[in-house]
Amino acid sequence: MRVLKFGGTSVGSPENMRAVMNLVADGEKKIIVLSAMSGTTNSLVEISNFLHKKNKDSARIAIGKLEAKYKEVVAELFTSDENKQKGLEIVKESFDTLKSFTTGNFSLVGENTILAQGEIISTNLVTILMNESGYNTKLLPALDFMKIDEDKAADLNFIREHITPVIEAVGEADYYITQGFICRDVNGDINNLQRGGSDYTASLIGAAIDAEEIQIWTDIDGFHNNDPRFVENTKKIEQLSFNEAAELAYFGAKILHPQTVLPARVQNIPVRLKNTMNPSDGGTLITAESDGKGIKAVAAKDGITAIKIRSGRMLMAYGFLKNVFAIFEKHRTSIDMISTSEVAVSLTIDDTKQLDTILEELSQFGTVEVDYDMSIVCIVGDIIEEEKGFASKVFNALDGIPIRMISYGGSRHNISILVPESRKKETLVALSKNLLNN
Ligand code: ASP
Ligand code: MG
């Protein structure tokens, strides 16, 4: 069986929902993972923020606006009165849930329950739509099998054990639809796989059922060899290895949730990125094999903070880095890049929630300097260390660009360079010209 995931834009209007239906209804049994309609999760985040700030009136107004939008969607989506009625009931149930939080106290569980409603509504509506059009379609409630553990990591074993009974319980169907993004935590409360997490849902399900292929459908024809928002004439990449795709997804290519590749790689299931606007195109195929040596792509990740710790105590001492890393671990902040000299270490983070505490604790080791608004530009491919002149090609391309850090040799799939965000575009263009011959 294949698992196909469609993002927010793909289900962003009644017309697009019908297009998704026509794409998937080819007679082949499959699992379809859907995001919330585009814009919905942002609105739900806004509503939760109002409630956290005890600004209940603004929350009520935002809920009202969103509900009106969904009533229009229902009116446009279905043909029969009976299905219009069913659609309105789905919408009412979710909005009753939202409204229940506008009285009384508001907690994190409340927030996660609110955030889940977008996927709950979109999947229910498309399921009704497909049945109205004569396709035998059943809904698999993701909250019955998707789970995260104590560390908020996806619990693949649990998913594997629980998904088949859920499929059996809903009964025989040609098409199964389920919610992306949402799950339960160890307490059984509603939670999620973080923003953009529907891709991850699809690959977890793919791994759990040992799917033939996992397809991630968006509105672009696959991974590009550079960021089309900043560089002209970028090209679609036909094939990538799991490792290359993981690096690209993590370092900036917005098309795929960074964790998506992992479950697929473990089970060796091909992942294909496909374009809803151009379904006949093969998209980008991600498998265990790389499509030859050399550089495949350049990508950038913004909003990076660089921290430098300079310490006399580092000189010839052991255990220094361990103590530094321990502080980041304690504050659950992951480090992306590091580079060291004998008296200083520089590293980067993108999650700055705990930055103040981290900086304070680091100051016991020496002087701490911080650079904000940096970008990691990363060069991804199957890069052979022995290739002569490779490093000089990279450095020549970067002539005139102030480089704050470089990481080379960590893996053969990635070279990372840290530059000020204001110089990112220039860096991407220069690398594109010199390394990718765009
Ligand atoms: N609806 C969620 C979000 O907007 C999950 C997703 O679309 O992947 O982040
Ligand atoms: Mg997405």
Assigned domain for 17 exists? yes
381 lines ligand 1 (CB under 6 A): no
Tell the residue nearest (CA) to atom 5 of ligand 1.
Answer: 196
For a pocket test of ligand 1, which of 41, 48, 112, 201 has the largest count of ligand atoms closer than 8 A to its C-beta? 41
Q: Minimum-distance ligand to the CA of 254?
A: 2
Looking at the CA of residue 7, tell me the nearest atom of ligand 1.
7
Using a 6 Å cutoff on CB, does residue 36 contact ligand 1?
yes
Residue closest by Cα to atom 8 of ligand 1: 196
Task: Please give, one letter per residue, the 3-state secondary structure of the chain.
Answer: CEEEEECCCCCCCHHHHHHHHHHHCCCCCEEEEECCCCCHHHHHHHHHHHHHCCCHHHHHHHHHHHHHHHHHHHHHHCCCHHHHHHHHHHHHHHHHHHHHCCCCCCCHHHHHHHHHHHHHHHHHHHHHHHHHCCCCEEEECHHHCCEECCCCCECHHHHHHHHHHHHHHHCCCCEEEEECCEEECCCCCEEECCCCCHHHHHHHHHHHHCCCEEEEEECCCCCECCCCCCCCCCCECCEEEHHHHHHHHHCCCCCCCHHHHHHHHHHCCCEEEEECCCCCCCCEEEECCCCCCEEEEEEEEEEEEEEEEECHHHCCCCCHHHHHHHHHHHCCCCEEEEEECCCEEEEEECCCCCHHHHHHHHCCCCEEEEEEEEEEEEEEEECCCCCCCHHHHHHHHCCCCCCCEEEEEEECCEEEEEEEHHHHHHHHHHHHHHHHCC
Q: Is residue 242 part of a domain?
A: no
41 lines ligand 1 (CB under 6 A): yes
Pocket test for ligand 1, best of 123, 195, 200, 216 (most atoms within 8 A of CB): 195
Residue 101 domain flag = yes
Q: What's the CATH number where 310 sits?
A: 3.30.2130.10
Q: In this structure, is residue 384 part of a structural domain? A: yes
Q: Is residue 197 within 6 Å of ligand 1 at its C-beta?
A: yes
pLDDT of residue 315: 62
Answer yes or no: is the C-beta of 195 below 6 A from any ligand 1 atom: yes
Ligand 2 centre to CA of 195 (Å) is: 8
CA of 120 to the centre of ligand 1 (A): 12
Q: Which atom of ligand 1 is nearest to the CA of 35?
A: 7
pLDDT tens-place string over residues 66-95: 999 999 999 999 999 999 999 999 999 999
- Ligand 1 site, residue 180, Cβ cutoff 6 A: yes
Shared domain for 55 and 149, answered yes or no, is yes
Same domain, yes or no, for 136 and 13? yes
Ligand 1 pocket check for 12: Cβ under 6 Å: no
**Are 173 and 67 contained in the same domain?**
yes
For residues 329 and 419, membership in a common domain is answered with: yes
What is the 226 CA–ligand 1 centroid distance (Å)?
Answer: 24
Query: 203 and 57 in one domain?
Result: yes
Please give the residue that has the higher pLDDT: either 394 or 168: 168
185 and 326 inside one domain: no
Supply the CATH number for residue 194's domain. Answer: 3.40.1160.10
Mean pLDDT of the residues in the chain: 93
Same domain? 210 vs 301: no
What separation in Å is there between the alpha carbon of 210 and the centre of ligand 2?
22
pLDDT bin (cut points 50, 70, 90) of residue 385 is low
End residue of a domain, out of 188, 219, 250:
219
Task: Work out the average pLDDT over 274-303.
Answer: 90
Dist. CA 42 → ligand 1 center (Å):
9
105-109, 148-152, 391-395, 401-405, range with the lowest pLDDT: 391-395
Same domain (yes/no): 215, 305? no
Is residue 53 scored above 60 in pLDDT? yes
- Of 198, 201, 218, 260, the residue with max ligand 1 atoms within 8 A of its CB, to mutate for a pocket test, comes to 198
**Residue 35 CB less than 6 A away from ligand 1:** yes
Q: Are residues 180 and 315 in the same domain?
A: no
Q: How confident is the model at residue 387 (pLDDT cuts 50, 70, 90)?
A: low
Residue pLDDT, tens place only, 176-225: 999 999 999 999 999 999 999 999 999 999 999 999 999 999 988 899 99
Show the domain range for 400.
296-436
Do 196 and 304 fall within a single domain?
A: no
pLDDT at 257 over 60: yes
In angstroms, what is the span from residue 194 Cα to ligand 1's centroid? 8
Q: Does ligand 1 have an atom closer than 6 angstroms to the CB of 179?
A: no
- Count structural domains, the chain: 2
Residues 61, 192: one domain?
yes
Instruction: Examine residue 264 and state whether it is found in any structural domain, yes or no.
Output: no
Judged by its nearest atom, the ligand closest to the C-alpha of residue 12 is: 1
Which of 192, 219, 246 delimits the end of a domain? 219
Identify which ligand lies nearest to the alpha carbon of 43: 1
Closest atom, ligand 1, to C-alpha of 8: 7
252 lines ligand 1 (CB under 6 A): no
> How many whole angstroms from 203 Cα to the centroid of ligand 2?
13
Answer yes or no: is 245 within a domain.
no
Q: Which of 219, 241, 269 is the last residue of a domain?
A: 219
Is residue 110 a part of any domain in this protein?
A: yes
Please report whether residue 186 resides in a domain: yes
- 19 with 161, same domain: the answer is yes
Which pLDDT score is estimated for 329?
95
**pLDDT higher than 60, residue 438:** no
